[in-house]
Amino acid sequence: MRNEISLTAYKCKKCGKLHYPFHDRCLECRGRDFEKVGPQGNAKLLTYTAIYNLPWGFDQRFLIIGVAEFQNHVKAMGQIKAESVDQLKLGMTVKPSWEPIRVQQGEDVYGLKFEPL
């Protein structure tokens, strides 16, 4: 299993605005040069939901998904390792990891998972 978080955010070299995912031009100043930045530390849970009507490709009863902000302000979506939304609250700290999030054409697809702390 891969453990390193393979997610890249992009900091505008002109104005400093942080982007994830990639944009060809800065959303603030339209600058085209970016410094690659990795997410750092734990994250703060900004919002979340439990989805019970899942799309094709997910053979499970439900899925909990949320958006979290890392300590260096990178914001990203991830699956949440919880049994119920009752274990979650807005603003709580979650620990990120890089794990299989789905299977496509027989291959594991890796992505962010967040574990409530």
Return the closest-CA partner of residue 75 out of 109, 113, 45, 51: 45
* Residues 43 and 96: beta-carbon distance below 8 Å: yes
Q: Is 82 in the site for other proteins (CB under 8 A)?
A: no
In the list 31, 63, 82, 115, the residue contacting other proteins (rule: CB under 8 A) is 63
Q: Is 11 in the site for other proteins (CB under 8 A)?
A: no
Q: Is 94 in the site for other proteins (CB under 8 A)?
A: no
Q: Is 40 in the site for other proteins (CB under 8 A)?
A: no
Binding site for other proteins (CB under 8 A): 19-21, 27, 46-58, 63, 65-67, 75-79, 85, 90, 101-102, 109, 111-112
